[in-house]
Amino acid sequence: MAEITNVGVNISEKASLIWNVADMLRGPFKPHEYGLVILPMTVVKRFHDCLLPTHAKVLETYEKVKNLEVVDGFLTRSSGYQFYNISKYTFETLLADPENIETNFKDYLAGFSGNVQDVLSKFDFDNIIKRMVESNTLYLVIKEFNSPKGYLGPDKISAVDCGYVFEDLVRRFNESYGEEAGAHFTSRDIIYLMTDILLSDTRFNGQNITVYDMAMGTSQMLSCMEERIHALDEDATVTCFGQEFNPSTFAIAKADMMIRGGDPNNMRFGDTLSDDQFKGYKFDRIISNPPFGIDWKREQKAVEDEAKLGEGGRFAPGLPKISDGQQLFVLNGLAKLADDGKMAIVQNGSPLFSGDAGSGPSEIRRYILENDWLDAIVQLSTDQFMNTGISTYIWVLCKDKRSYRVGKVQLIDASHCFEPRRKSIGTKRNDITDKCRDLIVKAYGDFEEGIFGDKEGIYCESKIFDSVEFGYNKIVVERPTLDENGKPVLKKGKPVADANLRDTENVPLVEDIDAYFAREVLPYAPDAWIDKSKTKVGYEIPMTRYFYEYQKPEASDDILARIIGLEEEISETLKGILK
């Protein structure tokens, strides 16, 4: 993973200087609360420094238009941004009146435009200010942010650089806060892998690309997509859209969008599953890391009501277990994916195989595979995320596959394609470095079976399957009920099935059911038959089985020698104790 540095600005150094404001918060605030002060103050200071050169012009314009019904357009034109501030105060004048710092600072904040007010309200900043006032730290914090180390003006720090600074501060906050905060943070090594897969075969030609993240957290996936697209085509325009349910992370995302000069109205607050803010929208690229292993009881009524709409809603194919809603996000993404669009979404292992034939999870897999939308699945190593050490998978879904990928699914085992971190962050102990990412993206792009990299070191393995290979017919095999003489009991001339002898078989879709039955069942149960009225189609993707490698067991002589050696060590130890 590349270091977060740019020409003229050392991002980590700048973030460290800002984070050191925490020195004066010790005592009144606990370490995991420092970010509650530093993050909103960083946002406010960035806005302040951006607006400072046009501050006088905005005040002059406001005096001319303040009695008009609509003033926003005039003021944003004067400020040069999609936000403004009509307060007479600046950080400099705030510090000139320490006795009235609370009143004046609140007046300054109240002068911001409505979109900034929305950000600050989601930070619950009023309560944070109250705590700073009570602990006599408000003046000191404003003074620190007004020092040269706290300067965040665009003449010194570009929108991209400021986004990096902000991300670094969010990471520090997450590290101090623990695993829960990690649920809202996906590190850039994983994001860059997802972006590079999504963009690996894209031809832009200067057009506009729409990008959507349905569970955007702090919106870093969107900013990375924008960065990568512009690296590939500087003439392309990128319009980002995102939705987030957590108030503080939504505030961070919206602020970051404003910092980067995007449209903050495209960042929307609400529960994606029950309060869809983008009905009717279609997007060229979707990138997301939604929560997994989280129940959807809170959204149950809204989700079930929408499922009843059938193809008119997002959840027509089926509903997953109430204990795990991650497949609902996949369906939401597919409903919003353009006809030539592509999506990368992080999942755990459950969507690969949970649920029997006919169940909601299986029907969702069936819907995806029978429409030929599953392009690839990449298995990552364990310990890749801050808040979970389990194996995770990137699902790549495409509405318009390249001709050579039609009817095929590529599975990539990248569980050996990582490098250990020098310092873990929560449970994140492994990184997908540039070398690792290049191997995985090459495996995806080449669309060939084989090993990519060094089998003795860092490598990934690619296998390609026909989509139909993941499907099966689940058949119900019946056996007759026998009477006391061992003869089948008949009803209307047909044998009565014995429920205690009933069994099921999963017959691959590529096989004829009757031929399979004749070969695999009848030789062992000549009186059996298939109840074809109960046959169901199911789908599963057993990646572990496909990539299983037989490990030769240790030779018995070696085991015996090791046991004898241990016994001798124990015996010598006991002799020493008994002396």
Pairing of strands 471-478, 490-491: unpaired
Q: What are phi and psi of 544, to 5 degrees?
A: -60, -40
> Model pTM?
0.86
Q: What is the pLDDT of residue 249?
A: 83
Q: Where are the beta strands (DSSP E) in 143-266?
A: 208-213, 237-244
Q: What is the pLDDT of residue 31?
A: 84
The residues, any chain, with a CB within 8 Å of residue 436's CB and separated by 6 or more, are: 414, 417, 418, 419, 458
Q: Output the six-digit token pair for 373.
A: 């939308």
CB 230 within 8 A of CB 238: yes
Alpha helices in 207-312 (DSSP H): 220-232, 247-259, 300-307
Q: Output the six-digit token pair for 94.
A: 């705030």
**Residue entry with tokens 């000191």:** 140
CA nearest to 211, candidates 219, 201, 222: 222
CB 118 within 8 A of CB 254: yes
pLDDT tens string, the chain, 579 residues long: the values are 333 334 345 777 888 888 888 888 988 898 888 888 998 999 999 999 999 999 999 999 999 999 998 999 999 999 999 899 999 999 999 999 999 999 999 999 999 999 999 999 998 899 999 999 999 999 999 999 999 989 999 888 887 778 778 777 877 776 665 544 445 468 889 999 999 999 998 877 888 999 999 999 888 899 899 999 999 998 899 999 999 998 888 998 898 888 777 888 999 999 999 999 999 999 999 999 998 888 999 999 999 999 999 999 999 999 999 999 999 999 999 999 999 999 999 999 999 999 999 999 999 999 999 999 999 999 999 888 876 778 899 999 999 999 999 999 999 999 999 998 888 777 888 999 999 999 999 999 999 999 999 988 999 999 999 999 999 999 999 999 999 998 999 999 899 999 999 999 999 999 999 999 999 999 999 999 999 999 999 999 999 999 987 777 877 887 888 888 888 888 888 777 776
- Round to whole Å and give the CA distance between 85 and 25: 27
The residues, any chain, with a CB within 8 Å of residue 264's CB and separated by 6 or more, are: 82, 83, 115, 254, 257, 258
Q: What is the pLDDT of residue 3?
A: 35
Could you give the angle at the alpha carbon of 270 between the alpha carbons of 339 and 336, nearest 5°?
A: 5
CB 478 within 8 A of CB 502: yes
Q: What are phi and psi of 487, to 5 degrees?
A: -105, 150
In this structure, the dihedral spanned by the alpha carbons of residues 551, 553, 558 and 563, taken in order and rounded to 10 degrees, is 110
Reduced DSSP (H G I as helix, E B as strand, rest coil) percent helix, strand, coil of the chain, to 5: 45, 20, 35
